Amino acid sequence: MNRTVLITLLGFCCLAAALLSITFGTAPLSLQRIFEALIGSDDPVARIILFDLRMPRALLGLSVGAMLGLAGAALQGYLRNPLAEPSVVGVSNSAALGAVIALYFGLAELHAAVLPVMAIIGAIFALMMLFALAGKSESPLTLILAGIAISTLAGAGISLTLNLSPNPFAAMEIATWLLGSLEDRSFNHVLIALPCIAVGLALLLWNGRALDALTLGEDGAKALGIDLGLMRIRLMLGVAIGVGGAVAVSGSVGFVGLIVPHIIRPLTDRSPSAILLPSALGGAILLTLADILVRVIPTSNELKLGVVTAFLGVPVFLVHLMRERRIW
């Protein structure tokens, strides 16, 4: 499919998903009430639902989904591994651990920026460990095993934090946050996440040409004038800052970065640069639709977003794992 056509179609789908997000919920809003609330009607209920509840949630769904989708596409392109994505390589869990530490020690109460900063530090630490453990190995198996080790270590740290929590209500709050959700988010959360996500998106999109060159191998990329060290730094910072900011407001939402690039790839020429922007748009659509799904499914308590994305992502992960399996 032509790149311009694909991006245009995905853009329209993003707008449609955003419109659905502000329309559907416990109290549905008609398009007429939405329009009247936007122009300043005297309907206080519609304005509260739209501006205090639905619009921040829709903006976060689009931005967090875009960041996770793009991060997955960038990591798959850099590692040349179809199973790579933020949660698989340990970035999401490590960012969550940083945020949990901020919540556990009350650091998040000091300033609104502390939570995303701690999440970003956790994500950067995870990527540094990943590259250190993998070394110069190009084996997908080595990278996946290193990522699993980091993710497991971060998960153990989160479990230890919950286990040592002296306040059961604080432990419950942390456990609920870890399940991932965009429920009860406000424009304050948007202001926390959006700068981090914008920086992350910019840094990762910057790597498109370098990722294309890397398909020729490291020597081929160097021959084309690509500074691999600088590219690695941009990728590390882009994933860490973007995913850290996203996790800080949404909790741990996995598998979006795994699903989306595999859906997008057959619609492109399969080069890494051609997949980046469409994956960001696809991630925005997928997460926003998943967030709508958790609201409309009739349950006593609203389903958590991370649970839904895990159910969607695990089958895709297993299919590709079976395709890539090797006889040991």
1-58 tens-digit pLDDT: 788 999 999 999 999 999 999 988 777 777 788 877 777 777 788 888 888 889 999 9
67-81 tens-digit pLDDT: 999 999 999 988 887
What CATH number should be reported for the domain holding residue 71? 1.10.3470.10
Q: For the chain, how many structural domains are there in total?
A: 1
d(CA 145, CA 94): 16
Gyration radius (Cα) of the chain, Å: 20
pTM of this structure: 0.88
Q: Which domain holds residue 156?
A: 3-324
For residue 108, what pLDDT is reported?
A: 79
Residue of 101, 230, 110 whose CA lies nearest to 178: 101
